[in-house]
Amino acid sequence: MRYQSYLVGVKRVLRRFGLIGLALLALALASAPASAEIAVIANRDSPVQSLTTKQVSDLYLGRSRTLALGETLTVFEQPVDSPLREMFFLSLNGMKIKQVNAYWARLRFSGEIMPPQSLSDSKAVIEAVKRERNAVGYIDAAMANSSVRVVLTLKEP
């Protein structure tokens, strides 16, 4: 009898933790980007037709703000704590977000260059890129539309 009541109690605990675990998993999935791809976007009127991963890496690490065309680009990115930003750098050049943050902290301290302008979300990045002719940004690929030009697509690592 005691053994049966013990099993019933264990089943209840497992059921509760199972539901909590399921709820945590659902929350984690809800905060992750909707697709497994990231679109690097440019303004529709920009001379930029496509970019390589090296060019995008150089833009987002401040190594370059111009392309072979001689155009200076304005670079927009996602919030510092965004899961999309983390996925972007992992997909782009294998850098973990701590490495990226440390990299920019060093450069800011030295006064060499400032990081790309951080915006609130993919919608804000799309709007900023639409407004500025020489702008680039990255968004969840599922949000890409005809108001901007996709110049590179990155897959989740």
Q: CA-based angle 88:109:70, to the nearest 5?
A: 60
Nearest in space to 76 (alpha carbons), one of 115, 118, 33, 130 = 118
Output DSSP code: residue 152: E
Overall pTM surpassing 0.85 (yes/no): no
- β-strand pairing of 135-140 with 148-155: unpaired
- State residue 18's pLDDT score: 65
- State residue 2's pLDDT score: 42
pLDDT per residue of the chain (157 residues) written in tens, 0 to 9 = 443 444 455 456 556 666 554 444 444 444 444 458 999 999 999 989 999 999 999 999 999 988 777 888 999 999 999 999 999 999 999 999 999 999 998 888 877 788 999 999 999 999 999 999 999 999 999 999 999 999 999 998 7
- State residue 9's pLDDT score: 53
- Cα–Cα distance between 148 and 136 in angstroms, integer? 10
Contact 56, 42 (CB under 8 A): no
- State residue 36's pLDDT score: 83
